[in-house]
């Protein structure tokens, strides 16, 4: 059955007043782990939306002291996008996706019985797409993460920590200038550099551990076997025809467990 | 608008002819040397407006120099060409402008020639990329409009040139004796600052045109109609995300470069 907007949305709406400065909006976005705030008047009526992308204007246009001062005094109500784009909670999610595409917008306010009840964003729709997978026993290519976080050997460890935290990744692949894989830095590897001084000086090349590689067509059983035998939590997936090329993905214990927990998995039948 | 501003002074026929003949001499030599050298400025407007060009003289618009647009790849050829025509280059300008501008002076005639390579970079940037081949011997009509309307402090000589152009040429989507408004609208849809200045100046040109006694009511109506249509088409052009975001900030933040900064 087609998923509805209300199945994917984030319930509830976090609002700010129209007179909130851009600096304060940035603080609220970070505090609340949000990408956008809904701007509302004192009676709660929705006036517009201000996203983290809109906030880029503050940096973009502050090219001199005068411009910086103008941008510092600008408010959410002045920079917000209006009118507010909305969808009905009972609308199919794919229709909401189409509305986002045609309107060039990343989020929509969800309305039910004339009242705003939540927000649906591209991230919510993307998350729902990850669940659309065929039934059956999977192999590494079906389960691995194809999008991977990479850095160079000389990358400071504090930058690696920031990237892992921002992207919510638990490891980073270290590559050379040609994209060839050299090793992996995991959260565990970073524990050794926990002291402030150590982290400031260290690089990814120092912290990385030797990687284990696996073919995309290997079975999940083979992957699990390799992880257990070598006590590695993740494997780098490489094309056997191009061993030295940029890897095609990574597979972790989490990916395999996530697959086992999926309703269509043989483990749930 | 001060009547004594540069380019606004009575100018005798002989003096005007001196500039026009020198322009023809340089253009002919440039063509013979296979250089892409296109005229802009007052002489371009006079060249492209055979019917209404008389307004320049009648309204006190004078020639002060000869301006050209060119590609950087031709800079060596242009330097050699101008030397052969008896001009001396102020080499410091080329160096200081990082190769984007060259100034030549003829010690006999005292005619001053400015060459703008790759772009016109005053209040806003107007790029030449691939556009100089669209017309000859001047830059295309669309770039002539942009050349004038990108100036935040537009002055009377620029307004007169624009009035002539709007009387002489219609709006369209190509460059054959037509002002390519699609090109103007597209550039303005990518850059809110350019849109702001161009639309502001178009409105100003229309307003000022209504006060010239030299123009009859038909002329004034024609300028109004052309400006109105140009603004409508600029408005209709789909805008980029950056444009829309910049528009929300509006005039709070300066949207143009001061001309003095780039001179």
- Indicate the average pLDDT of chain B: 93
Beta bridge partners of B119: B127
Q: For residue range A69-105, what is the model confidence (pLDDT) as tens digits?
A: 998 899 999 999 998 899 999 999 889 988 988 887 8
Beta bridge partners of B34: none
**Residue B26: pLDDT above 80?**
yes
The reply to whether residue B248 touches residue A78, judged by beta carbons under 8 angstroms, is: yes
Distance (Å, whole) CA B127 – CA A23: 36
**Residue B263: pLDDT above 70?**
no
Distance (Å, whole) CA A101 – CA A41: 28
| Cα–Cα distances in angstroms (integers) from residue B186 to residues A103, B68, B190, in the given order | 20, 24, 7
Q: What string of DSSP letters covers B87-126? A: -EE-HHHHHHTTTSEEEEE-TTT--EEEEEESEEESSSEE
**Shortest Cα distance from A52 to chain B (angstroms)?**
12
Tokens of A62: 């502050």
Compute the average pLDDT of residues A30-58: 88
Candidates B246, B248, B254; nearest CB to A67:
B254
In B, minimum Cα distance to A50 occurs at: B245
Contacts of B241 in chain A (CB under 8 A): 104
Q: For residue range A45-70, what is the model confidence (pLDDT) as tens digits?
A: 899 999 888 888 888 888 888 998 99
Residue pair B74/B34 in contact (Cβ under 8 Å)? The answer is no
Q: At what angle do helices B192-209 and B217-236 cross, to 10 degrees?
A: 160
Q: For residue range B159-190, what is the model confidence (pLDDT) as tens digits?
A: 999 999 999 999 999 999 999 999 999 999 99
Lowest mean pLDDT among A127-136, A166-175, A227-236, B27-36: A127-136
Distance (Å, whole) CA A194 – CA B262: 51
Predicted ipTM beyond 0.85: no
Residues 242-261 of B with CB under 8 A from A: 245-246, 248-249, 252-254
Distance (Å, whole) CA B160 – CA B56: 7
Q: For residue range B139-156, what is the model confidence (pLDDT) as tens digits?
A: 999 999 999 999 999 999
**Residue B130: pLDDT above 80?**
yes
pTM of the model: 0.76
Residues 56-95 of A with CB under 8 A from B: 56-57, 61, 66-67, 70-71, 74, 78-81
Q: For residue range A193-251, what is the model confidence (pLDDT) as tens digits?
A: 876 565 678 899 999 999 999 999 998 888 888 888 788 889 999 998 887 889 999 99
Distance (Å, whole) CA B151 – CA A192: 60
Compute the average pLDDT of residues A118-145: 78
Q: For residue range B94-103, what is the model confidence (pLDDT) as tens digits?
A: 999 999 999 9
Distance (Å, whole) CA A173 – CA A209: 10
The reply to whether residue A66 touches residue B254, judged by beta carbons under 8 angstroms, is: yes
Candidates B241, B248, B254; nearest CB to A79:
B248
The reply to whether residue A57 touches residue B252, judged by beta carbons under 8 angstroms, is: no
A139 contacts: CB under 8 Å, gap ≥ 6: A216, A217, A218, A219, A220
**Residue B262: pLDDT above 50?**
no
Contacts of B248 in chain A (CB under 8 A): 54, 57, 78-81
The reply to whether residue A104 touches residue B241, judged by beta carbons under 8 angstroms, is: yes
Residue pair B66/B37 in contact (Cβ under 8 Å)? The answer is no
Residues written for chain B:
263
Residue pair B42/B158 in contact (Cβ under 8 Å)? The answer is no
């Amino acid at each position: 059955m087609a998923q509805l907007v209300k199945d994917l949305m984030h319930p509830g709406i976090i609002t700010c007043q129209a007179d909130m400065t851009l600096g304060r909006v940035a603080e609220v976005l970070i505090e609340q782990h949000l990408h956008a705030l809904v701007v509302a008047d004192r009676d709660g009526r929705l006036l517009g939306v201000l996203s983290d992308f809109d906030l880029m204007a503050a940096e973009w246009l502050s090219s001199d002291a005068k411009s910086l001062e103008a941008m510092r005094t600008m408010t959410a109500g002045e920079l917000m996008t209006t009118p507010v784009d909305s969808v009905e909670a009972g609308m199919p999610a794919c229709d909401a996706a189409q509305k986002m595409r045609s309107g060039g917008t990343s989020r929509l306010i969800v309305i039910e019985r004339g009242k705003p009840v939540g927000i649906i964003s591209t991230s919510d729709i993307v998350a729902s797409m990850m669940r659309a997978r065929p039934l059956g026993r999977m192999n590494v290519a079906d389960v691995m993460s194809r999008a991977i976080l990479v850095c160079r050997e000389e990358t400071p460890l504090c930058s690696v920590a920031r990237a892992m935290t921002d992207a919510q990744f638990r490891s980073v692949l270290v590559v050379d200038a040609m994209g060839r894989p050299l090793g992996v830095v995991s959260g565990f590897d970073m524990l050794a550099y926990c002291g402030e001084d150590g982290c400031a000086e260290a690089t990814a090349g120092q912290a990385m551990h030797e990687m284990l590689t696996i073919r995309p067509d290997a079975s999940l059983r083979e992957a699990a076997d390799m992880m257990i035998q070598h006590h590695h939590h993740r494997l780098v997936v490489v094309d056997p025809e191009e061993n030295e090329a940029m890897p095609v993905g990574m597979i972790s214990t989490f990916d395999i467990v996530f697959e086992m927990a999926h309703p269509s998995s043989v483990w749930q039948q | 608008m001060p009547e004594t501003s540069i380019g606004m002074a009575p100018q005798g026929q002989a003096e005007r002819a001196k500039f026009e003949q020198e322009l023809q001499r340089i253009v002919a030599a440039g063509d013979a040397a296979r250089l892409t050298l296109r005229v802009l400025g007052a002489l371009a407007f006079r060249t492209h407006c055979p019917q209404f060009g008389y307004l320049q003289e009648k309204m006190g618009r004078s020639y002060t120099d000869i301006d050209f647009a060119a590609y950087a790849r031709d800079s060596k050829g242009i330097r050699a060409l101008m030397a052969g025509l008896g001009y001396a280059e102020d080499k410091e300008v080329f160096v200081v402008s990082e190769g984007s501008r060259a100034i030549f002076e003829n010690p006999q005639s005292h005619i001053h020639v400015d060459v703008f390579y790759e772009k016109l970079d005053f209040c806003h940037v107007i790029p030449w990329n691939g556009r100089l081949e669209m017309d000859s011997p001047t830059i295309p009509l669309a770039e002539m409009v942009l050349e004038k309307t990108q100036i935040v402090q537009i002055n009377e000589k620029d307004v007169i040139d624009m009035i002539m152009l709007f009387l002489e040429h219609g709006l369209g989507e190509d460059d054959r004796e037509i002002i390519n408004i699609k090109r103007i609208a597209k550039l303005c849809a990518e850059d809110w600052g350019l849109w702001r200045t161009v639309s502001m100046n178009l409105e100003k040109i229309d307003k000022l045109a209504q006060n010239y006694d030299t123009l009859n009511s038909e002329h004034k109506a024609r300028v109004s109609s052309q400006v109105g249509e140009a603004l409508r088409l600029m408005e209709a052009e789909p805008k980029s995300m950056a444009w829309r975001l910049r528009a929300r900030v509006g005039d709070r933040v300066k949207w143009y470069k001061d001309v003095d900064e780039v001179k």
